[in-house]
C-alpha cells in the first residue's frame, strides 16, 4: 500500500513538472531536451505501474529461482544454455535486481550442463514466470567446421523463492466465535455452562472447536491453537499445489514445445510463439532486453481468448 501511494505521488510530481516545462515552452524557452526527458521518464513510470497491475498474485512479488538445462545436442545446446544464462544476468542488471549464481555445471568443451540462479527484486518472479519453457536457437554453428546451420534447445524453469517459515495472520474480524454447552463428560460445571467454544475462520470456512477444558477461556485458547494449525496446513497444501502446477508447466526440451525462437541465421529475429511478438534486433534481446516479451506475455494472460 505504501509503495503504491509513493508511486502515485511520484507520478503526480512528474506530470506537474512536465506541465511546468510546457508552460516555459509556451513562453518561448527552449526546453525541448527537458520535455523529452520528462516524457521518457513518465512513460517508464506508467509502464511500471501497468506491470504491477498485471501481477496480482502474492507470489508475483517474490524473488525468482531460475534453472537452465540444455536439450539434446551436446556442445551446441550447452553453449546455447550459457547464452541464456548471460541474457538473464544482463536483464537483472538492467532492472537493478540482484543476480546470484547458486549452482553451475560446466560443459566439457563449451557452455554449461546446468545452472541455477536467483534473481532478487520486487516482482522478479512475476516478471520472469512467463520465461518457463523451451527456448530455441537457430544459427550457424561456431563448432561445425562446415559452418552448417544448427538448431539448439534449452529449457528455462522459474519458481518463486518462498520462505520456509509460514506466518499465519488471523484477523479478529475474520472470526466468528460461538459458545455452547458441552455435551461431553467433565463434571457438573462443564455440563451446565456454555464453556465449549467453536471458532469459524470466515475467509476459508475452517472450523475449530474445543469442549474438553473446564473453562471457556481454556477452550477458546485451545480452539485458536487448533485453528492456527489447520490454517497452517491449508497454506502448506496451497503452496504444494502451486508448486505442482508450476512443475506441470514443464515440457520436453525439443522441437514443437518451444515458447520462443531466437534466429541468428539466415536472418536475425526473436519471436515469441505465444504472443506472436517479433523483434528484429536479436542481439539486443540476447543482451537482456526482455521487457517487451515479458510485457506482451503478461497482457496476453489478462486478455480473454478471442478478445
User: Does 306 have pLDDT greater than 90?
Assistant: no
Lowest mean pLDDT among 8-17, 118-127, 143-152: 8-17
Residues of the chain above pLDDT 70, percent: 87
pLDDT at 2: 53
Mean pLDDT of the chain: 85
Locus of grid cell 560443459: 107
**Per-residue pLDDT tens over the stretch 76-88:** 999 999 999 999 9
Q: Are the beta carbons of 195 and 179 closer than 8 angstroms?
A: yes
User: CA-based diameter of the chain, in Å?
Assistant: 95
User: Does 151 have pLDDT greater than 90?
Assistant: yes
Closest CA to 93 of 102, 105, 85, 103: 85
Give the integer Cα–Cα distance in Å for 271 and 285: 11
Closest CA to 162 of 54, 244, 61, 294: 61
pLDDT at 159: 86
Give the integer Cα–Cα distance in Å for 94 and 256: 31
**Per-residue pLDDT tens over the stretch 179-215:** 988 665 444 444 556 788 999 999 999 998 888 777 8
pLDDT at 245: 73
pLDDT at 253: 56
Q: Which of the 8 DSSP states describes residue 165?
A: P
Average pLDDT over residues 44-70: 85
Amino acid at each position: 500500500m505504501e509503495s503504491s501511494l509513493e508511486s502515485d505521488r511520484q507520478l503526480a510530481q512528474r506530470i506537474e513538472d512536465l506541465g511546468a516545462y510546457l508552460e516555459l515552452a509556451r513562453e518561448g524557452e527552449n526546453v525541448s531536451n527537458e520535455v523529452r526527458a520528462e516524457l521518457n521518464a513518465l512513460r517508464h513510470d506508467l509502464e511500471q505501474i501497468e506491470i504491477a497491475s498485471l501481477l496480482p498474485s502474492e507470489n508475483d512479488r517474490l524473488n525468482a529461482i531460475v534453472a537452465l538445462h540444455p536439450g539434446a545436442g551436446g556442445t551446441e545446446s550447452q553453449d546455447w544454455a550459457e547464452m541464456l544464462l548471460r541474457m538473464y544476468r544482463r536483464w537483472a542488471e538492467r532492472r537493478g535486481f540482484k543476480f546470484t549464481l547458486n549452482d553451475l555445471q560446466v560443459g566439457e568443451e563449451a557452455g554449461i550442463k546446468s545452472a541455477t540462479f536467483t534473481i532478487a527484486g520486487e516482482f522478479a518472479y512475476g516478471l520472469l514466470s512467463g520465461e518457463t519453457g523451451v527456448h530455441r536457437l537457430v544459427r550457424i554453428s561456431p563448432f561445425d567446421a562446415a559452418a552448417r546451420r544448427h538448431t539448439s534447445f534449452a529449457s528455462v524453469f522459474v519458481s518463486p523463492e518462498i520462505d520456509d517459515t509460514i506466518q499465519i495472520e488471523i484477523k479478529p474480524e475474520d472470526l466468528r466465535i460461538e459458545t455452547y454447552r458441552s455435551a461431553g463428560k467433565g463434571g457438573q460445571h462443564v455440563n451446565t455452562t456454555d464453556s465449549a467454544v467453536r471458532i469459524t475462520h470466515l475467509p476459508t470456512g475452517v472450523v475449530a472447536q474445543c469442549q474438553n477444558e473446564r473453562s471457556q477461556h481454556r477452550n477458546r485458547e485451545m480452539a485458536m491453537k487448533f485453528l492456527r494449525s489447520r490454517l497452517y496446513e491449508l497454506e502448506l497444501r496451497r503452496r504444494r499445489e502451486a508448486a505442482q502446477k508450476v512443475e506441470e508447466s514443464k515440457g520436453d526440451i525439443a522441437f514443437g514445445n518451444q515458447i520462443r525462437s531466437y534466429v541468428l541465421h539466415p536472418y536475425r529475429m526473436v519471436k515469441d510463439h505465444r504472443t506472436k511478438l517479433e523483434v528484429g534486433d536479436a542481439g539486443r534481446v540476447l543482451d537482456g532486453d526482455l521487457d517487451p516479451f515479458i510485457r506482451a506475455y503478461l497482457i496476453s494472460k489478462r486478455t480473454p481468448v478471442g478478445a
